[in-house]
Amino acid sequence: MWEKNFASIKRNYPQLAEKLNALVTDNAGSCIEIQQTPSGAPTLKLDGVLVHSARNPLREAAKFAAAALQTGQPAGSGAAADDKSHGSGASAGGDFHDGGGISKGAVAILGFGLGYTAEAVMKAAPACVLIIIEKRPEVFIAALNARDISALFEGGRNIFIIGGDNSGIIAALSVAREVRATLRNHSLIKLDEEWYSGVEQNIALWRTKDEVNAATLRRFGRRWIRNLAGNLSAIRDLPGISFLSGKFDFPVLLIAAGPSLDEIRHCAVELSERCLIIAVDTALRFLRLTGVKADFVVSADPQYWNLRHLDNLERAADCLVADPSVQSAALRLHEQIFLTSSVFPLGKFIEDAVGRKGALGAGGSVATSAFDFACLLRNAANTPIYIAGLDLSFTGFRTHYKGALFEEQNLVVQHRFLPAETTEFTAMHAASPYFAQSMDGNKVLTDKRLSLYARWFENRFKNYPETPVFSLSGAGLSISGLQTATLDALLSLPCCRKEINRRKEAVFSEISAEWNSENAAVRVEKFNAARKELLDGLEEIYEAARTAYHAAGQAIKDISKTEKAADQFKAANKVLESSRIKEIVSFLLSRENQETTGSVRESLTISSRIYKNIMESVEFNVGALRRNAWK
Is the distance from CB of 242 to CB of 355 less than 8 angstroms? no
Measured in whole angstroms, how far is the alpha carbon of residue 55 from the centre of its chain? 43
Query: Would you say residue 201 has pLDDT above 60?
Result: yes
Average pLDDT over residues 79-97: 36
How much is the pLDDT for 168?
73
What are the angstrom distances between the C-alpha of 519 and each of 507, 513, 514, 516?
A: 19, 11, 8, 7
Exposed, middle or buried by CB within 10 Å (0-12, 13-18, 19+), for 427? middle
How many Å apart are CA 460 and CA 38, to the nearest integer?
A: 48
Round to the nearest angstrom and report the end-to-end CA distance of the chain.
Answer: 66
Model confidence at 198, pLDDT cuts 50, 70, 90, reads: confident
How much is the pLDDT for 518?
67
How much is the pLDDT for 483?
93
How many Å apart are CA 418 and CA 415, to the nearest integer?
A: 5
How many Å apart are CA 77 and CA 69, to the nearest integer?
A: 12
Bigger pLDDT: 472 or 74?
472
Residues in contact with 503: Cβ distance below 8 Å, sequence separation at least 6, in sequence order: 247, 248, 250
Q: What backbone phi and psi angles, to 5 degrees, belong to 451?
A: -65, -35
Is the distance from CB of 550 to CB of 612 less than 8 angstroms? no
pLDDT per residue as tens digits for the range 109-131: 999 999 999 999 998 888 888 99
Query: Would you say residue 557 has pLDDT above 70?
Result: yes
pLDDT cut 90: percent of the chain above it: 54
pLDDT cut 70: percent of the chain above it: 87
Average pLDDT over residues 378-397: 91
How many Å apart are CA 165 and CA 197, to the nearest integer?
A: 12
How many Å apart are CA 454 and CA 391, to the nearest integer?
A: 9
DSSP at 103: P
Model confidence at 393, pLDDT cuts 50, 70, 90, reads: very high
How many Å apart are CA 138 and CA 144, to the nearest integer?
A: 10
How many Å apart are CA 484 and CA 474, to the nearest integer?
A: 6
Residue from 133, 85, 83 nearest 107 by CA: 133
Collapsed DSSP state (helix, strand, coil) of residue 47: coil
Poorest-confidence range of 70-74, 234-238, 399-403? 70-74
Collapsed DSSP state (helix, strand, coil) of residue 255: strand
Q: Residue 2, Cβ neighbours under 10 Å: how many?
A: 12
How much is the pLDDT for 167?
67
How many Å apart are CA 302 and CA 330, to the nearest integer?
A: 10
Q: What's the length of the chain?
A: 631
Is the distance from CB of 433 to CB of 447 less than 8 angstroms? yes
Collapsed DSSP state (helix, strand, coil) of residue 281: helix
Poorest-confidence range of 163-167, 438-442, 604-608, 621-625? 163-167
H or E, element range at 298: strand 296-299
How many Å apart are CA 473 and CA 259, to the nearest integer?
A: 10
Q: Residue 81, Cβ neighbours under 10 Å: how many?
A: 6
Average pLDDT over residues 278-305: 92
Please give the single-letter amino acid code of residue 285. R
How many Å apart are CA 449 and CA 238, to the nearest integer?
A: 33
How many Å apart are CA 520 and CA 236, to the nearest integer?
A: 9
Model confidence at 91, pLDDT cuts 50, 70, 90, reads: very low
Average pLDDT over residues 411-415: 69
Q: Which domains are present in the chain?
A: 2-205 (3.40.50), 250-292+314-319+367-515 (3.40.50), 519-627 (no CATH)
Please give the single-letter amino acid code of residue 493. L
Write the DSSP assignment of 162-203 as a string of letters: ESS-TTHHHHHHHHH--EEEEEEBHHHHHHTHHHHHHHHHHH
Q: Max Cα separation, the chain?
A: 84
- Report the alpha-carbon angle 82-83-84, nearest 5: 135
DSSP at 305: H
How much is the pLDDT for 77?
43
Strands across the sheet containing 296-299:
337-339, 320-322, 296-299, 276-280, 252-255, 385-388, 469-471, 483-484
Buried b (16+ CB within 10 A) or exposed e, 5-25: bbebbeebbeebbebbeebee
Model confidence at 228, pLDDT cuts 50, 70, 90, reads: very high
pLDDT per residue as tens digits for the range 560-585: 999 999 999 999 999 999 999 999 99
Q: Residue 415, Cβ neighbours under 10 Å: how many?
A: 7
Residue from 365, 423, 389 nearest 258 by CA: 389
Please give the single-letter amino acid code of residue 495. C
Q: What backbone phi and psi angles, to 5 degrees, belong to 110?
A: -95, 100
DSSP at 517: S
Model confidence at 96, pLDDT cuts 50, 70, 90, reads: very low
Helix ranges (DSSP H) in 52-132: 57-71, 116-124
Bigger pLDDT: 151 or 71?
151
Poorest-confidence range of 319-323, 418-422, 465-469? 418-422
